[in-house]
Amino acid sequence: MELKTEKTFAYCLAALLLVVGVVCYAAFPQEKPEDPIRIMLKSAGGTVLFDHKEHASEDGYGFDCTECHHLWENDGAKPEACGECHEVDGEDPMKRSDAFHMQCMGCHEDDGTAPVECSVCHAF
């Protein structure tokens, strides 16, 4: 009879801890970061996973926002997505893939330590 009581107590305790865990998880959600951490850029050559946090943070490369968001005035509003101006098949001002390649590969080539091979970025 004692074994049944111990099992019942253990199951009730496990259920109680599960409920407490779910309530705490729902009551204290993790805040969404102000800046994106990673961005998935879909393309015909394969999806590119861009590590925004690594490029923008002081602990990473420390780029200023306007180095990539070249028309953004950093006035408190979020920058527009690149596709707002650089359309997939656009010509004016420039096709989106050409803008990415010029911006990303140009910086990678200038740096000399970042990859420039297609398959490194277009991995997915």
- 19 and 45 co-located in one domain: no
Give 78 or 124, the one with higher predicted confidence: 78
| Statement to judge: residues 21 and 63 lie in one domain | no
Task: Indicate if the pLDDT at residue 51 is higher than 80.
Answer: yes
Count of all residues that appear for the chain in the document:
124
What is the SS3 assignment for 73? Answer: coil
Pair 21, 44 in one domain: no
State the pLDDT at residue 124: 66
Domain total of the chain: 2
pLDDT tens sequence across 69-117: 888 887 778 888 888 888 878 777 788 888 888 888 888 888 887 888 8
| DSSP-derived secondary structure letter, 103 | I
Q: Are residues 44 and 99 in the same domain?
A: yes
Asked if 105 and 44 sit in the same domain, the reply is yes
Range of the domain at 16: 1-30
